[in-house]
Structure 1
């Protein structure tokens, strides 16, 4: 029978184990996807560990909010997909039931998209969460426009790199923030117009220097926590700050009214809206075709080594690309 990764208790990577389960036939409006690869995301790690923002009902919970594969079966009323069509999963809000850490998953037909031409299986597995989060936060929520100066924290991570590329595709000016001066050249090569390395320069002063003294028009905060206070100061008056991450679990201080701070952005608020998903898909497909959007891959593991994939993600040894598991 097909393999599925589950966990019965929260904890470290060793709580993950593989079980055999029968495939589920797709119901009305559903498709079954034979998974070829999936990405390991920080949200998966936090869910496995029992940390906010998403806690899975136990036991026998699944993981995985993105992946790629081919349509294996279609349910009644599905006329848009055929068996063998290559797809990516566009949203798995109930990952504890339908997660992509498996050989098969059955999802509503409107939660899959055509795999972008030009991407291989591994890259396709790693493209949706990072780019839909970056696009949703910057374009749909913040209204990013050409020439906007966009400050991007945690820029070496998957979403940060995607945000740099999304900003460039729009014609905005991405300014990357990193804690390590050793990452400056790498982020410039990814497409950042400027890089602020907080281990040797002041965030606010450097941002103002790169924005002719005005401050950032839009700030994408992928860390949150106490450091958001400096991001507010680095954003111009009446600018927009979008909290879209949770890398710092410490409380985030209240923000003054000098900037518009949106509510914490969660990608599912857009990726379950079919109208927005169509816009995201069109943007992604165009970006891949033009070479503007290209996911970076750090490491690839086999399904049998999924716990090692989690250990690698948590180790801090990544180069900034995504961790992918092939099935």
Structure 2
């Protein structure tokens, strides 16, 4: 068979966006359980920034590929593949390892278990802005925390793609989403996105505002990718038996352990990764069902902040790291 040569995003040294390069790589033919995909769009994530700067859960083996999400058209399928055919519009679910299965390339060969068909009418940019964030937020809020109607849910980094997904999911189950963002610049946009309340943490007293909003009840669920000093006001205003789910570590400052608050309120501080969902077939199917239903009824609406061309991937990451975006930064091919 004819070899496929395609461009892929790679880096040969640790550093900022400027270390990224578009390099030609050879794409193999799909194996029996694999699918070949011609990529049409990519979604960018903070995890890719962490890998590139060697602060991720795995270290890059240089030269390294990059990427957790992609969407595109099926070009060929392996002999044992069922349910997918050439021409299908599909999205690639995040791999367990970016080192082994990076997604930032013009062509990919992907195991069929990591593919989902795109809903009818969904644009490429919307598809690239769907699965990482909704899987992450659903697994944490619904499957781990058991978020339910009437719960207060505090969502930090609320203008990120995962933060916005969390707001929508909280609304869909009848909970009360409280968005925490750094400044008031995105307040109105967050309210329009479904947040019941918005707190600008650099302009307001986070602890006082949370007490004003939640009263004696406190917030039963906190969903945070930041860590650092924010742990103290967050845990100080949580409900008895509440759960704080940490899914990041963006703060460069130390994260204090709020011993007194944990003891006095019987709090749960829980680390979480989306792979808990991806590696459990039953949990993954439940998440897919919820997400497809939400996309169909309009309660889940992917928010695309900006789309860049593939050739401008360096600028796309610079924009992501500027913290200006509201929603998902997407690269189109």
Q: Which residue is equivalent to 2:233?
A: 230
1:97 counterpart = 2:103: no
In the other structure, the counterpart of 2:272 is 265
Q: Please state how far the C-alpha of 1:259 moved relative to its aligned partner.
A: 4.1
Q: 1:296 aligns with which of 299, 303, 314?
A: 303
In structure 2, which of residues 153, 156, 162 is the aligned counterpart of residue 159 of structure 1?
162
1:189 Cα offset (Å): 0.7
Residue number in structure 2 paired with 1:315: 322
- Superposed CA RMSD in Å reads 1.5
Q: Which residue of 2 aligns with 1:181?
A: 184
Q: Which residue of 1 aligns with 2:332?
A: 326
| 1:136 positional shift | 0.9
1:222 CA drift (Å): 2.0
- Determine the structure 2 residue equivalent to 1:33: 37
- Deviation beyond 6 Å, 4+ runs, structure 1: none
In structure 1, C-alpha distance between the alignment counterparts of 2:266 and 2:204, rounded to whole Å: 23
Gaps of 5+ in 2: none
Kindly report which structure 2 residues correspond to 1:1-327, keeping only aligned pairs within 5 A, or say none: 1-59=5-63, 61-255=64-258, 256-257=262-263, 258-318=265-325, 320-327=326-333
Q: Where in structure 1 are there 5+ consecutive unaligned residues?
A: none
**Do the aligned partners of 1:16 and 1:307 also contact (CA within 8 Å) in 2?**
yes
Range with bigger deviation, 250-259 or 237-246: 250-259
Would you say the 8 A contact 2:118–2:127 is kept in 1?
yes
TM-score of the superposed pair, with normalisation by structure 2: 0.93
SS in 2 for 1:68: strand
SS in 1 for 2:99: helix
For 2:147 and 2:178, the matched residues in 1 are separated by 14
SS in 2 for 1:97: coil
TM-score w.r.t. structure 1 length?
0.95
Aligned residues: 325
Q: Secondary structure at the match of 1:25?
A: coil
Instruction: Name the CA distance, whole Å, in 1 between partners of 2:273 and 2:200.
Output: 27
Distance 2:76 2:270 in 1: 39
CA positional deviation for 1:190: 0.5
